[in-house]
Structure formats: C-alpha cells, structure tokens
C-alpha cells in the first residue's frame, strides 16, 4: 500500500483533525484498493496527490493528470496502463489464467477537489 495515501487517509479520516473529510477519506480508500501491490507506480502524473485542489472546473480540469487502467469486469484485478496495447497484453494474460473472465474495460480517471469557500463567497 502507498505510504502517501496512508498518510492522507490518516489526516482526513480522523474526526479530531482539522482536515477531517469523510468524503475524501472514502475517495482515498477507493484509490488505495486500486493501487497496485508490490510498489508498482500509479500513472506518473498522479503519484504526488490523486486529488489536486483547483479553483474553477472550467479553467483547469483539462490540465490535470490522468490515470488509466484496464480492469477485469469479473473480478477486482486491474493494471495501470500507458497504452491500449498494454491493456490488450494484460487482458490476454488474465484471460489465460482465468478462462471465465472474458470482459474487460479501460478506465480513465481524473481526480480533483474544489477549493473550500468562505461562507458568503460567490461560486465561480
């Protein structure tokens, strides 16, 4: 499990912490489940923080890092990918080892969080 994600979860999952945010804790748990075991890296652009803060969706979502992975629709196994060729190779190997697992999908994820506003501040 990624140490950075563990630290982030410890902060946002503690009701005594000023960073307490149950919704963000849930998002981090999902990311941890998808994180590859054995220290394999998530897609390079997402390593530092899976949910960077932005001020306006219109202005910067297209500039955020993207994570892509292929996953088996019959189980929870997945693999981060850089190309569809990587996805095809992984799916074929997974199918050889699990002949009844014959459905796959490529998932593309961009995560972000909105800047918290001061009460009374108008949304952008």
With respect to residue 10, please indicate whether it lies within any of the assigned structural domains. Answer: no
Q: 46 φ, ψ to 5°?
A: -105, 0
* pLDDT confidence of residue 2: 66
Measured distance CA(33)–CA(85) in Å, rounded: 24
Measured distance CA(45)–CA(43) in Å, rounded: 6
What element of type H or E holds 30?
Answer: helix 22-34
With respect to residue 84, please indicate whether it lies within any of the assigned structural domains. Answer: yes
With respect to residue 59, please indicate whether it lies within any of the assigned structural domains. Answer: yes
The parent domain of residue 70 ranges over 54-114
Q: How many domains does the chain have?
A: 1
With respect to residue 28, please indicate whether it lies within any of the assigned structural domains. Answer: no
pTM score: 0.50
* pLDDT confidence of residue 46: 44
Pairing state between β 67-72 and 104-109: antiparallel
- At 40, is the pLDDT very low, low, confident or very high (cuts 50, 70, 90)? very low
- Average pLDDT, integer, range 54-72: 74
Contact 111, 51 (CB under 8 A): yes
With respect to residue 64, please indicate whether it lies within any of the assigned structural domains. Answer: yes
């Amino acid at each position: 499990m990624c140490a950075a994600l563990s630290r982030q979860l410890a902060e946002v999952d503690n009701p005594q912490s000023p960073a307490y945010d149950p919704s963000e804790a849930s998002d981090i748990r999902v990311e941890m489940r998808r994180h590859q075991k054995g220290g394999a890296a998530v897609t390079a652009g997402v390593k530092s923080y899976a949910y960077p803060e932005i001020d306006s969706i219109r202005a910067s979502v297209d500039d955020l890092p993207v994570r892509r992975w292929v996953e088996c629709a019959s189980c929870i196994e997945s693999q981060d990918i850089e190309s569809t060729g990587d996805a095809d190779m992984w799916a074929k190997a997974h199918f050889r080892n699990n002949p009844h697992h014959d459905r796959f999908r490529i998932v593309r994820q961009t995560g972000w969080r909105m800047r918290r506003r001061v009460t009374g501040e108008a949304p952008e």
